[in-house]
Amino acid sequence: MTRRRQIYEGKAKILYEGPEPGTLIQYFKDDATAFNAQKKGTISGKGVLNNRISEHVFTLLGNIGVPTHFIRRLNMREQLIRQVEIVPIEVVIRNVAAGSLAKRLGLEEGLQLPRTIIEYYYKDDALGDPLVSEEHIACFGWASQEEMHDIADMAIRVNDFMSGLFAGVNVRLVDFKLEFGRVYDNDYSRIILADEISPDGCRLWDMTTNEKLDKDRFRQDLGGEVEAYQEIARRLGLLPEGENTVLDMAEHRKNRGK
Ligand code: UDP
């Protein structure tokens, strides 16, 4: 058997050369990092859950006409995707104050924002992904004005769709991060949604209890990370009901209290 060529290894995923030109295989690891990789750990089973959750969300987004890099899931940890040229901007969409926004502006976590905020962060680990404005993006040529228009447009569509999707399973979509890429058709390029959508890059709170069902459980040492990711998958209908591998959060709290 020939070894596949590894194209890139990130914090939570590995990209391999795909079976056809213009395709890649995206492999989901169990590794977790936070605070610009100062905190490292593994969440056993996370990769499998994120692969499945991301497949589900990207498929639904594709169905409503949002262009994405997702082609199909290959197995438990891998999906086939279109190769893109990643735009070096992390797009963060916020509906509720939390995380760095709450800290930076001294807002109470959980404050419902009167309107949705889109923020841009320049992807540069050495600089700690600094917050930038559209002025910086245009000035340094990270994306064109036209591309930024398409990106903001898609970000809002994704937010509207995902807010409804999660509200339907009693989960509040607090904030999330998207990444976009360019694909080239002859002389033209266009922007499509790339990367992943999973509890690694979203804040998801139970609407009734405000329980955190996302990577903040790891960031804040709350424990029960994999149970939280499983809970999201279960509510989205991606795990069989009542399967005994799924520890529900109440059970988890009870066990932790022992
Ligand atoms: N986020 C992400 N990757 C990053 C930074 C942020 O996926 O490198 C996500 C994060 O999970 C949250 C949202 O973007 O859902 C907003 O994150 P924030 O700016 O509050 O930063 P954090 O507090 O997560 O460092």
Q: What is the pLDDT of residues 29-86, one digit of tens each?
A: 999 999 999 999 999 999 999 999 999 999 999 999 999 999 999 999 999 999 999 9
For residue 165, how many other CB atoms are within 10 A of its CB? 16
177 lines ligand 1 (CB under 6 A): yes
Q: 182 C-alpha vs ligand 1 centroid, how far in Å?
A: 23
User: CB under 8 Å to 33, separation ≥6 — which residues?
Assistant: 11, 12, 39, 40, 41
Give the domains, in start order, of the chain with CATH numbers: 85-206 (3.30.470.20)
- Mean pLDDT for the chain? 94
pLDDT-derived band at 3, boundaries 50, 70, 90: confident
pLDDT, residue 240, reads: 82
Q: 43 C-alpha vs ligand 1 centroid, how far in Å?
A: 18
pLDDT-derived band at 241, boundaries 50, 70, 90: confident
Q: What is the pLDDT of residues 129-152, one digit of tens each?
A: 999 999 999 999 999 999 999 999
Q: Which atom of ligand 1 is nearest to the CA of 34?
A: 25
Q: Taking the mean position of all CA atoms in its chain, how far away is CA 2?
A: 31
Q: 123 C-alpha vs ligand 1 centroid, how far in Å?
A: 12
Q: 99 C-alpha vs ligand 1 centroid, how far in Å?
A: 7
User: CB under 8 Å to 118, separation ≥6 — which residues?
Assistant: 91, 92, 93, 94, 152, 155, 156
pLDDT, residue 258, reads: 45
Question: How many whole angstroms separate alpha carbon 102 and alpha carbon 53?
Answer: 27
pLDDT, residue 204, reads: 99
Q: 240 C-alpha vs ligand 1 centroid, how far in Å?
A: 30
202 lines ligand 1 (CB under 6 A): yes
pLDDT-derived band at 1, boundaries 50, 70, 90: low
> 45: buried, middle or exposed (CB in 10 Å: 19+, 13-18, 0-12)?
middle
Q: 35 C-alpha vs ligand 1 centroid, how far in Å?
A: 9
73 lines ligand 1 (CB under 6 A): no
pTM of the model: 0.93
pLDDT, residue 243, reads: 55
pLDDT, residue 79, reads: 98
- Mutate which of 89, 92, 163, 225 for ligand 1? The one with the most ligand atoms within 8 Å of its CB, which is 92
201 lines ligand 1 (CB under 6 A): yes
215 lines ligand 1 (CB under 6 A): yes
Q: Which residues pair with 41 in a beta bridge?
A: 32
